Amino acid sequence: MAIFLDQPFAEVRVGAWRLSNNTWGVGNLQNGTDYWQTIQYTPGTINGTRFAWEQRENWQGNVRAFPQVIYGTKPWDKGRMSDVTMRLDQMQNLDMTVDLRVERYSGVGNVALDLWLTDKAGGGPATVTTEVMLWLDDDNMSPSGTKVGRMNVQGIGADIYVHENLQNDSASGISWRYIAVKLDVEYLIGTIDIDGFLRQLVSLGWLSADDWISGMELGAEVVSGNGALNINNLSAHAAHYDVTAGADNLTGSQGADLINARGGNDSIAGGAGRDTLLGDGGQDRLDGGGGNDLLQGGAGNDRLLGMFGADTLLGGGGADVLAGGAGADRFVFATGDSLPARMDRITDFAGSAGDRIDLQQMDADTLLEGDQAFTLVDAFTGAAGELRIQSQANGFVLIGNTDSDAAAEFRLLVKGDLMPDYIFF
């Protein structure tokens, strides 16, 4: 039975995909009066999904909406990582196979694949460096920015447009480079070689090989008029060093490895090089080895060992044990991590040597819209957004309150020399 999403920004997960009725540019326009937009889908399958819309006259010519299907995550998902997360210089294969049909009635818009690049793995909005939009089809629409050149990937030619310092609102102060890759031909059926386009943009100097991608967004940019986009068939592939769902033991190469442990209780060692180790489900042991590594646990009670180099450790769900080892390491926590009932432990924190605790991905006040920062206090007053450091034998407890009671929603055990200057919040 078909289900309709018709409220602005309504979202639903369908298997590995997420549908979003994104109306980011409508401003004060009223849903159902000045415009309407809906997503029709069948639970259990992304195939057969239909985006439909009608936007009244738009004299400003701005994009008003982008109904979309998301694979992985995007920076506005509070910086969470996904199976797609990879650094551009580690990409093996990243593609999307599509079978789409556009119903054009009137107006201006396009069909596009949107990719966000950040300067850290799973980074939030403030870490965005570049937005790359592959234009698969358009109707009376021109890209923002200046045409800077051409590219060709597997015989498909495209114009490259660049708009520097693009913003979606001036209040945030966040800006990025926007790159539109406008294909010479309509490309609604076939396999899109995403990593091929990204590699060539790196070689042309428009992207940094050190940037990260965590997801892909396919949708229709709507400026005005009415129409529909039908998804007949859709699949995506992000090539990692995948480990099976059972209990595995794997050691990476001497280079930069990307290893996803999947399910099971796994033991993964990155070896030399700048490695990315993803624990996923199970109770995993992740050993970064040499190099500046990224270690992310999953839902289980994981043990993350950075070893040598300046490592980034994200425990995720569960009661995790984190050890950075030598080097200036960063311990990152997001909303829902290290709860009082299942606290994480940092066993070797050395702030004086450059270690830092990063709470910037944690919403300190869940009662307010947006993402709020913590305020450091000596004692809780019962207000949301308070953070305090409590001394104890052999270390400290870092405690955070994110709602309006005096009880903690975040609690982290830290063995080492914790001081306020060593915390990013």
Q: What is the pLDDT of residues 26-73, one digit of tens each?
A: 999 999 999 999 999 999 999 999 999 999 887 788 999 999 999 988
Say which CATH topology domain 241-424 has: Alkaline Protease, subunit P, domain 1 (2.150.10)
User: Which of 340, 361, 350, 328 has the alpha carbon at shortest distance from 414?
Assistant: 350
- Residue 243 has what pLDDT? 43
380-419 burial, b at 16+ Cβ within 10 Å, e below that, comes to beeebbbbbbeeeeebbbbbbbbeeeeebbbbbbbbbebe
- Delimiting residues of CATH 2.60.120.180 domain(s) in the chain: 3-238
For the record, the structure tokens of 267 come out as 């033991």
Q: Are 357 and 413 in contact (CB under 8 A)?
A: no
- Delimiting residues of CATH 2.150.10.10 domain(s) in the chain: 241-424
The stretch 199-224 carries a mean pLDDT of 93
> Whose structure tokens read 């982290």?
412
Q: Is 353 exposed, middle or buried (0-12, 13-18, 19+ CB in 10 A)?
A: middle
Secondary structure letter of residue 150 according to DSSP: E
Residues 123-169 pLDDT 10s: 888 899 999 999 999 988 999 999 999 999 988 999 999 999 998 76
Find out if CATH 3.40.710.10 is the number for domain 3-238: no
Residues 370-397 pLDDT 10s: 678 899 999 888 888 899 999 988 899 9
- Residue 413 has what pLDDT? 95
3-state class percentages of the chain: helix first, strand second, coil last, to nearest 5: 5, 50, 45
For the record, the structure tokens of 179 come out as 């790159």
Lowest mean pLDDT among 232-236, 240-244, 286-290: 240-244
**C-alpha–C-alpha distance, residues 225 and 318, integer Å:** 48
Secondary structure letter of residue 30 according to DSSP: P
| Residue 22 scores a pLDDT above 90 | yes
